[in-house]
Amino acid sequence: MDVCQEKIIHHESVQKALNNIPDMDALHSITGIFKALSDPSRLKIVIALAKCELCVCDLAAVCGSSDSAVSHQLRILRNLKIVRYRREGKVVYYRLDDHHVSTLINQTLEHVKE
């Protein structure tokens, strides 16, 4: 049977692993980002915004969705601080909040292609 007879064999390794785990608030934030990016519609939006700033109607064209559906997805992404917006007259433009999400997506794409 391949079961450890001791509760902890490698105390130093366990401590190193424990020291590397973020606090619960950070863990919840991380899982929220991964949950948001696990939806294909939101992922399309984020990938599009990684290249350029777009308004809702342009994002709807990219995603093949309605403006309303895209707005709903953008609200989720805004709440998670993945995207931000700016208003220019009556038009609202969206972009990624920072480069970290773009880096995450690019690294994931590289991983998938390997």
Lowest mean pLDDT among 8-12, 43-47, 90-94, 99-103: 8-12
* CATH, residue 68: 1.10.10.10
- Asked if residue 27 is part of any domain, the answer here is yes
- Asked if residue 88 is part of any domain, the answer here is yes
- For the full predicted model, state whether its pTM sits above 0.75: yes
- Asked if residue 3 is part of any domain, the answer here is no
- Asked if residue 42 is part of any domain, the answer here is yes
Total structural domains within the chain: 1
CB of 59 within 8 A of CB of 41? no
> 16-75 pLDDT, tens per residue?
999 999 999 999 999 999 999 999 999 999 999 999 999 999 999 999 999 999 999 999
- Asked if residue 2 is part of any domain, the answer here is no
Q: Give me the domain span that covers residue 37.
A: 11-113
- Asked if residue 98 is part of any domain, the answer here is yes
